[in-house]
Structure 1
Amino acid sequence: MTVCRDCCCGSPRKHPSTDHDVQLGTLRAGLEPHHRVRVSQCLDVCDQSNVIVVQPDPAARRGGARPVWFGLVHDDAVLGGLMTWVRAGGPGVAPLPAILELSVITPPATGNA
């Protein structure tokens, strides 16, 4: 999982009601050590901040699964849904929960993450 934390994502100026440090801590506490949570600089979809990208595991990627990008991740329910989905296998393994469907975004044309 890649968590954008740069100019807009993780910005208390842009999203003052989201505790970005707590959000990142929650992801790490809920997913590591079995799933890697890394922080990235700008992923070039600032209008959709906070952005999180979930990578498929290697076997799922070999089977054709691709990363899934999520935007506007500010809600604890969405964060919880992400963690549950990742623990269930994530892209290419587990079906996407309904709570996450509205958060899926199109990655930028540059192909980051």
Structure 2
Amino acid sequence: MPSDTVPPARETVPCRVVVCRDCCCGTPKVTGVDHAAQTARLRVRVPVRVSACLDVCEQANVIVVQPSAAGRATGARPVWLGLVNDPDATEDIAAWAQAGGPGVIPQPEILDLYTITPPRRRTAP
């Protein structure tokens, strides 16, 4: 198989969402958010994986939109979103991921307000 050909099983890997639900995200520490409803709403639209702490507690609730196989083929990387504590933001994320997500369609400008730097990419001051 040529190196530039994606194996058939990988061609269909969809855009996925990772939802942090550990020490701060998904807990009563973030008040006024129905965490279970947020996760359920995302699951209606896209595949969701619930994660332990993603180490950006000051940005709770954290959601990571992982590119599909098609998105990765364009060079797209996961998009980290923080302070996702509003149902409208959840809907915007779900709609973008369902439509293809990173590398497939542009990130909606409104989500720029939530974009954060993942912990491994932070630089020392």
Fold similarity call, TM over 0.5? yes
Question: CA RMSD, aligned part only?
Answer: 1.4
Partner of 2:102: 91
Offset at residue 16 of structure 1 (A)? 1.9
What is the aligned-residue identity percentage? 57
| Number of matched pairs | 106
Q: TM-score, normalised by structure 2?
A: 0.80
Offset at residue 62 of structure 1 (A)? 2.2
Offset at residue 59 of structure 1 (A)? 2.0
Aligned partner (choices 24, 28, 33) of residue 8 of structure 1:
24
After superposition, the C-alpha distances for 1:3-56 in whole angstroms (9 at most, x for unaligned) are 0000000011x1121011111111112x1xxx3101000000000010000000
Q: TM-score, normalised by structure 1?
A: 0.88
Offset at residue 110 of structure 1 (A)? 7.2
Q: Gapped runs of 5+ residues in structure 2? A: 1-16
Q: Gapped runs of 5+ residues in structure 1? A: none
Following the alignment from structure 2 to structure 1, what is the Cα–Cα distance between the partners of residues 42 and 47? 10
After superposition, the C-alpha distances for 1:54-96 in whole angstroms (9 at most, x for unaligned) are 0000122122100000000011111110011111110011111
Where does structure 1 differ by over 6 angstroms across 4 or more consecutive aligned residues?
none
Aligned partner (choices 92, 96, 109) of residue 81 of structure 1:
92
Query: Does 1:56 pair with 2:67?
Result: yes
Following the alignment from structure 1 to structure 2, what is the Cα–Cα distance between the partners of residues 17 and 11? 10
